[in-house]
Chains A and B, each alone.
Chain A
């Protein structure tokens, strides 16, 4: 191995491993060692019930459904529509479902088709030839990860498997072994203290804050206000034609009446959520220096047009109130809703409060901001402001590249699975057959 000493050695040894990163909004898949995932497909999928007769939910086997909430589960024989042309194409009677809830996979029945679509249809590779690294949320249950291992080994016949924590992987993607990872996803926000590549479970905090932000934005748009009526969140799939109208004037459009009847409630909800998200991403923002109504007003309005043709200028007050939900809750909201998700500063405070005093300096000096939700305009600056108010020495690592920010977990997995020293950690098929499910918790700490 003389040659390795002369050339730069990154400790990498690629074995053509695959990395699968499950998120609430999308499933990322690609080869380890790449810098961006090859396949990014929405986690939401459409399905058509072939026989509307049977209505009983399919039991999910042993212990995979401990949670009380039962999602709309497609029937085993249902026709699934997955991928870029899945839920976004209107189909008569098509429902939309998402196997994820609270950052965890709740419905494993549709996971194999999703993975299969990503690996076989998009990447065109055979999973049986590649070791596979899958990510999981830090609060994943043992049953969940064992079920995932089972799917990979039994259904995809992978030679080796590993399940890694997104918090740890995000820290790795930022080049850090110890970090405080703040991950803002589509449905969940989490704060994860990572030390030497291990999650400190006692300091782990997560909540459904992004959903609250979404709900706030939706309420803002649909409820009539003093200067405009409530906005109809109709997706373009349901609109046959529209006329250009002036700002603030009621829209003039014709609906595709033929489609209205065949539209399911779940698809409608999915499409409306999509419209709200689009609006948030276009006009929403965070005030860097904290909430200041006057300052927000001065920021100026921004124009946005909905698929119906309705268009208006959204004032700074409206735009920044959306982002403000991440950081502060109004007393009125708190009073009316006792189970309000914690704000980001509160999450960080309670997470830091749970960690050892000696670790706090290390963690606060290595804050990693990641997740697509953190791309909210002004979010990183606001977070820096909030944190520097609370703690004296804070250093926030927020990748400027949106791809790195959105797919940080996948990127960390890509780095980890291409390391030469990592290959001893894979759970091989042989070990799986020998030790069974117990090996997963034993190996993936």
Chain B
């Protein structure tokens, strides 16, 4: 019924073990490996265990965790209980302790060396009368103080605690320290000093004690300690407030720097301007580089008028004189030499890396982009992609974009001015009660294109009548601005018509 070992083997597809005869020699070495009977087991019991339960037998063997460290050339160290002489004691008390047997019985006690005494300052009667007289201290009390300081090894807190000079005045800790250090300083100053001056100065420095300062400090500490919880809370609140203000200031400064950096670039004078090689810098860089790289090099003789929004215009690089021969060569091989700007060549920001021309297609400004693209769309030009980005094409395209931008900007300005005129008119009408009936116009914002013309005429005349009290100059200015706007608006529809 019970499965034999052979069955198990056949089930598990384990190869048949060697026959009994051949198994003997393999078992032998196993037996010899743990041939030694472990301690603590009777021989008979060990024989019963036989070779079949090695794990059980292992439990009886002593656990061997680690090789025992061999301390001091092996061998047992003998210790003996023996009396010793303590050098730090003045009497002959001999206590006993355990010591190594071989060692010197009368060697100096190991801990005696820690019995160090500070050098006490002592003075003679003569020195006292000559140097140390003090109206508030008697010699007896000074002696008492010095004894206490010696007794408690200069622990002034303890000295002060134990200070009970009979019939003496109440002394504060500072009084005691001042007297003690004062006496010591005087003694050192007036005694011949063995050693160098620096050493003497160091000792004197170690003995300085400024009583007034210490008292002031203690008073300050006491006042700190006696704060009410409200005061502490208020102090904390103030501190938090201060931190907030500081943080605000930091943020403000950071923002300002950021703004300066984007607006002025290197000219801002900020130290940590980082320059990017691959056109990822701010918008200001982009435009500058574009102008220099595309516009400046392509048409150096006829520079495109810088658009109104570019605040800073770098000096245009002067074209180098090229020899006729090389010019001819360049023309033949279509080589265009861009000029390197000598003034700002040292900074990274001015550096224009090598690029494909098509990568540098002029882009309208982000703010104007929708309007410009709408405009170009009306013209039937795709501004996102140039089929043939030759140099001339690019230049023309850039000029076109520029023109479109200018157009859009001027249009915007016209709209704004018209709006201003309308609102001013409305205000004017409101101020002049009699012209309320005409006030229907300013309430609704007029369409710029057609409304501008009649508004112009009316506004002009009315403004003149209104501003009769004003100076002629301001009136002229006003009129001029009007005329400009009227001209521009006149140009607007014209263009539109053309477009149509």
Tell whether A pairs with B: yes
Number of B residues whose C-beta is below 8 Å from A?
Answer: 30
| A358-B221 in contact given A13-B97, A424-B115 (Cβ < 8 Å) | yes
| A160-B221 in contact given A356-B160, A423-B111, A445-B152 (Cβ < 8 Å) | no
Q: B467 at the A/B interface (Cβ < 8 Å)?
A: no
- Contact residues in A for B72 (Cβ distance below 8 Å): 3
The reply to whether B97 and A14 contact each other, CB–CB distance below 8 Å, is: yes
Within 8 A of A (CB), among B145-189: 151-152, 155, 157-158, 160-162, 173
Q: Digit string of B47-74 for contact with A (CB within 8 Å is 1, else 0)?
A: 0000000000000000000000000100
Q: B95 at the A/B interface (Cβ < 8 Å)?
A: yes
| A198-B158 in contact given A13-B110, A428-B91 (Cβ < 8 Å) | yes
Within 8 A of A (CB), among B72-92: 72, 86, 88-89, 91-92
- Given known contacts A160-B95, A357-B222, what 4 new A-B pairs fall within 8 Å (CB)? A1-B110, A13-B110, A16-B96, A431-B91
Q: How far is the CB of A158 from chain B (nearest CB, A)?
A: 11
The reply to whether B161 and A200 contact each other, CB–CB distance below 8 Å, is: yes
Give CA–CA (A16, B95) in the complex, Å: 9
Pick the residue among B86, B152, B155, B162 that contacts A424 (CB under 8 A): B86
Q: Digit string of B92-112 for contact with A (CB within 8 Å is 1, else 0)?
A: 110111100000000001111
Q: B16 at the A/B interface (Cβ < 8 Å)?
A: no
- Contact residues in B for A307 (Cβ distance below 8 Å): none
- Contact residues in B for A16 (Cβ distance below 8 Å): 96-97
- Contact residues in A for B151 (Cβ distance below 8 Å): 445
The reply to whether B157 and A15 contact each other, CB–CB distance below 8 Å, is: no
Q: B218 at the A/B interface (Cβ < 8 Å)?
A: yes
The reply to whether B161 and A428 contact each other, CB–CB distance below 8 Å, is: no
| A159-B95 in contact given A195-B157, A423-B86 (Cβ < 8 Å) | yes
Give CA–CA (A14, B84) in the complex, Å: 12
Nearest B residue to A362 via CB reads B157
Q: A359 at the A/B interface (Cβ < 8 Å)?
A: yes
Q: B114 at the A/B interface (Cβ < 8 Å)?
A: yes
Q: How far is the CB of A425 from chain B (nearest CB, A)?
A: 9
Give CA–CA (A198, B109) in the complex, Å: 26
Nearest A residue to B107 via CB reads A1
Nearest A residue to B111 via CB reads A420
Q: Digit string of A351-379 for contact with B (CB within 8 Å is 1, else 0)?
A: 00000111110000000000000000000
- Contact residues in A for B109 (Cβ distance below 8 Å): 420, 423
19 A–B contacts, CB within 8 A, in A order: A3-B72, A11-B111, A13-B110, A13-B111, A15-B95, A131-B95, A160-B93, A160-B95, A201-B161, A203-B161, A356-B157, A359-B157, A423-B109, A424-B88, A424-B115, A426-B93, A426-B95, A429-B93, A445-B152
- Contact residues in B for A426 (Cβ distance below 8 Å): 93, 95
- Contact residues in A for B112 (Cβ distance below 8 Å): 424
Within 8 A of B (CB), among A397-445: 420-421, 423-424, 426, 428-431, 434, 445
- Contact residues in B for A358 (Cβ distance below 8 Å): 157, 218, 221
Pick the residue among A160, A201, A420, A431 that contacts B162 (CB under 8 A): A201
Give CA–CA (A414, B160) in the complex, Å: 30
Give CA–CA (A426, B173) in the complex, Å: 31
The reply to whether A357 and B221 contact each other, CB–CB distance below 8 Å, is: yes
Give CA–CA (A357, B91) in the complex, Å: 41
Q: Digit string of B445-480 for contact with A (CB within 8 Å is 1, else 0)?
A: 000000000000000000000000000000000000
Secondary structure at chain B's binding surface: helix, strand, loop or mixed? mixed
- Contact residues in B for A428 (Cβ distance below 8 Å): 89, 91-93
- Contact residues in A for B161 (Cβ distance below 8 Å): 198, 200-203
The reply to whether B96 and A198 contact each other, CB–CB distance below 8 Å, is: no
Q: B225 at the A/B interface (Cβ < 8 Å)?
A: yes
- Contact residues in A for B93 (Cβ distance below 8 Å): 159-160, 426, 428-431
- Contact residues in A for B225 (Cβ distance below 8 Å): 357, 360
- Contact residues in A for B114 (Cβ distance below 8 Å): 420-421
Give CA–CA (A420, B92) in the complex, Å: 17
| A421-B152 in contact given A15-B96, A160-B93, A198-B158 (Cβ < 8 Å) | no
- Contact residues in B for A131 (Cβ distance below 8 Å): 95
The reply to whether A200 and B158 contact each other, CB–CB distance below 8 Å, is: yes
Number of A residues whose C-beta is below 8 Å from B?
Answer: 34
| A423-B95 in contact given A13-B111, A356-B173 (Cβ < 8 Å) | yes
Give CA–CA (A20, B469) in the complex, Å: 113
Q: How far is the CB of B468 from chain A (nearest CB, A)?
A: 78
Give CA–CA (A430, B110) in the complex, Å: 23
The reply to whether B96 and A420 contact each other, CB–CB distance below 8 Å, is: no
Q: Digit string of A177-191 for contact with B (CB within 8 Å is 1, else 0)?
A: 000000000000000
Pick the residue among A13, A202, A360, A430 that contacts B91 (CB under 8 A): A430
The reply to whether B111 and A421 contact each other, CB–CB distance below 8 Å, is: yes
- Contact residues in B for A13 (Cβ distance below 8 Å): 97, 110-111
Q: How far is the CB of B251 from chain A (nearest CB, A)?
A: 32
Nearest A residue to B96 via CB reads A15
Give CA–CA (A15, B109) in the complex, Å: 13
Q: A246 at the A/B interface (Cβ < 8 Å)?
A: no
- Contact residues in B for A420 (Cβ distance below 8 Å): 109-111, 114
- Contact residues in B for A200 (Cβ distance below 8 Å): 157-158, 161
Q: How far is the CB of A184 from chain B (nearest CB, A)?
A: 24
- Contact residues in A for B157 (Cβ distance below 8 Å): 195-196, 200, 356, 358-359
Nearest B residue to A1 via CB reads B110
- Contact residues in A for B115 (Cβ distance below 8 Å): 421, 424
Give CA–CA (A424, B115) in the complex, Å: 8
- Contact residues in A for B95 (Cβ distance below 8 Å): 15, 131, 159-160, 423, 426
Give CA–CA (A145, B115) in the complex, Å: 26
Give CA–CA (A359, B72) in the complex, Å: 48
Question: Which 7 A-B residue pairs are closest in the complex by CB-CB distance?
Answer: A420-B111, A428-B93, A424-B88, A15-B95, A198-B158, A200-B161, A357-B221
Pick the residue among A14, A15, A195, A434 that contacts B158 (CB under 8 A): A195
Give CA–CA (A312, B316) in the complex, Å: 104
- Contact residues in A for B86 (Cβ distance below 8 Å): 423-424
Give CA–CA (A203, B161) in the complex, Å: 9
Give CA–CA (A316, B335) in the complex, Å: 100
- Contact residues in A for B96 (Cβ distance below 8 Å): 15-16
- Contact residues in B for A196 (Cβ distance below 8 Å): 155, 157-158
Within 8 A of A (CB), among B112-167: 112, 114-115, 151-152, 155, 157-158, 160-162
Give CA–CA (A434, B112) in the complex, Å: 23
- Contact residues in B for A331 (Cβ distance below 8 Å): none
- Contact residues in B for A431 (Cβ distance below 8 Å): 91, 93
Q: Digit string of B210-226 for contact with A (CB within 8 Å is 1, else 0)?
A: 00000000100110010
Q: How far is the CB of A296 from chain B (nearest CB, A)?
A: 26
Q: How far is the CB of A52 from chain B (nearest CB, A)?
A: 47
Give CA–CA (A11, B115) in the complex, Å: 13
Which of the listed residues A4, A159, A360, A423 has the most CB atoms from chain B within 10 Å of its own CB?
Answer: A423
Give CA–CA (A203, B162) in the complex, Å: 11
Q: How far is the CB of B238 from chain A (nearest CB, A)?
A: 17
Nearest A residue to B160 via CB reads A356
Q: How far is the CB of A65 from chain B (nearest CB, A)?
A: 25
Within 8 A of B (CB), among A1-30: 1, 3-4, 11, 13-16
